[in-house]
């Protein structure tokens, strides 16, 4: 089934080829991604015990409206919220609701704004009140996993180099890498080729080329890697109910490495961590 959004972008699809973008596209992505980053910055003081994830969702919607941007998740494949809020053992795609956050929770907030047709996709973990050491350590390992993946991005390498860097580091820290979700090409489309796996070997996957734009968004578990999706069709949880975390950046490949479009202008890429 094709909805009207898919129909509008259908001419851009089905080439199989990975799109390469020029300076104008990079500028458009920079602007969309910086709006997303500013929203994630503005949320930091709001993420406290007692606040509901629906209140966070409303803030994300209104921040978008105030800045001329539409949340990409709204009515995306039947999803009806402006953000995903994934708490504790929820791996990703948690649906905002009226339950308040509780002291000791860790929550991922994932925002994608469409600004002038460009998609800016990023997420961060927020500690709620006092979080136990194991949780804080998971957040540190997960952000470092993302940074190691980003450091592997350069023209000539394969996308598998990103996965290998993440998997080697995370498993060395006695954590596990979720296999069921991956990063993705992004630009005028929300989810485009290539898939960016967060595990694997450096010789695998397509060659990275200057002008590619994609996300890296590793999901790292304290327990085993396996996940299941709840009956709502969205909420993914760890099968062993172990704690899980995720951070996401959108990057553009340059001649020598990559530019991180979604870096926090306030230095809040890892809220609550030092
Ligand atoms: N923002 C998510 C990503 O990082 C996708 C969410 S799709 C939704 O790719 F429908 F679950 F919102
Ligand atoms: Co993404
Ligand atoms: Co996202």
Per-domain residue ranges of the chain: 19-260
**pLDDT 10s digit of each residue in the chain, 274 long?**
344 445 455 556 545 799 999 999 999 999 999 999 999 999 999 999 999 999 999 999 999 999 999 999 999 999 999 999 999 999 999 999 999 999 999 999 999 999 999 999 999 999 999 999 999 999 999 999 999 999 999 999 999 999 999 999 999 999 999 999 999 999 999 999 999 999 999 999 999 999 999 999 999 999 999 999 999 999 999 999 999 999 999 999 999 999 999 999 999 999 999 9
In the reported structure, the alpha carbon of residue 91 is separated from the centroid of ligand 2 by a whole-number distance in angstroms of: 13
Within 6 Å (CB) of ligand 1, which residues are found? 73, 76-77, 79, 84, 93, 110, 112, 121, 215, 217, 234, 248
Token pair listed for 257: 């490495």
User: What is the distance between the alpha carbons of residues 101 and 80, in angstroms, rounded to a whole number?
Assistant: 20
Quick: pLDDT tens for 162-184. Answer: 999 999 999 999 999 999 999 99
Measured by CA distance, the residue closest to atom 11 of ligand 1 is: 93
Give DSSP secondary structure letters for 94-127.
Answer: PPP-SPBP-TT-EEEEEEEEEETTEEEEEEEEEE
| Kind plus residue range of the DSSP H or E element containing 24 | helix 23-43
Q: Are 138 and 219 in contact (CB under 8 A)?
A: no
How many other β-carbons are positioned within 10 Å of the β-carbon of residue 208? 24
pLDDT of residue 3: 46
User: What is the distance between the alpha carbons of residues 189 and 29, in angstroms, rounded to a whole number?
Assistant: 12
Q: Are 209 and 257 in contact (CB under 8 A)?
A: no
Instruction: Check whether the bond before 55 is cis (ω within 30° of 0).
Output: no
User: What is the distance between the alpha carbons of residues 265 and 37, in angstroms, rounded to a whole number?
Assistant: 7
In the reported structure, the alpha carbon of residue 94 is separated from the centroid of ligand 3 by a whole-number distance in angstroms of: 12
Quick: pLDDT tens for 234-257. Answer: 999 999 999 999 999 999 999 999
Q: Are 245 and 220 in contact (CB under 8 A)?
A: yes
In sequence order, the 6+-apart residues with CB closer than 8 A to the CB of 83 are 56, 57, 60, 71, 73, 96, 109, 110, 111
Measured by CA distance, the residue closest to atom 8 of ligand 1 is: 73
Question: In whole angstroms, how far apart are CA 263 and each of 32, 159, 191, 207, 211?
Answer: 12, 21, 20, 25, 18
Bridge partner residues of 127 (DSSP): 106
In the reported structure, the alpha carbon of residue 3 is separated from the centroid of ligand 3 by a whole-number distance in angstroms of: 21
The reply to whether CATH 3.90.230.10 applies to domain 19-260 is yes
In the reported structure, the alpha carbon of residue 261 is separated from the centroid of ligand 1 by a whole-number distance in angstroms of: 18
pLDDT of residue 6: 52
């Amino acid at each position: 089934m094709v909805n009207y959004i898919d129909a509008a972008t259908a001419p851009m699809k089905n080439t199989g080829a990975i799109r390469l973008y020029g300076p104008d596209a990079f500028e458009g992505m920079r602007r969309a991604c910086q709006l997303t980053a500013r929203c994630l910055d503005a949320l930091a003081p709001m993420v406290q015990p007692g606040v509901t994830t629906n209140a966070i969702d409303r803030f994300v919607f209104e921040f978008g409206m105030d800045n001329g941007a539409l949340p990409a998740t709204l009515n995306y494949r039947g999803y009806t919220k402006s953000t995903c809020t994934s708490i504790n053992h929820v791996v990703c795609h948690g649906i905002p609701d009226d339950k308040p956050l509780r002291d000791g929770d860790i929550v991922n907030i994932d925002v994608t704004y469409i600004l002038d047709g460009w998609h800016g996709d990023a997420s961060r973990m927020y500690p709620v009140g006092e979080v136990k050491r194991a949780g804080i350590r998971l957040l540190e390992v997960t952000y470092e996993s993302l940074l190691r993946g980003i450091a592997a991005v350069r023209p000539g390498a394969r996308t598998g180099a990103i996965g290998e860097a993440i998997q080697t580091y995370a498993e060395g820290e006695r954590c596990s890498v979720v296999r069921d979700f991956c990063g993705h090409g992004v630009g005028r489309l929300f989810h485009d080729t290539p898939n960016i796996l967060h595990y694997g070997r450096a010789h695998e996957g397509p060659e990275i080329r200057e002008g590619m734009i994609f996300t890296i968004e590793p999901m790292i578990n304290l327990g085993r890697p396996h996940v299941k999706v709840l009956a709502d069709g969205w909420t993914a949880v760890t099968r062993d109910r172990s704690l899980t975390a995720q951070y996401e950046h959108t990057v553009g490949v340059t001649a020598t490495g990559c530019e991180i479009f979604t870096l926090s202008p306030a230095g809040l890429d890892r809220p609550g961590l030092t």
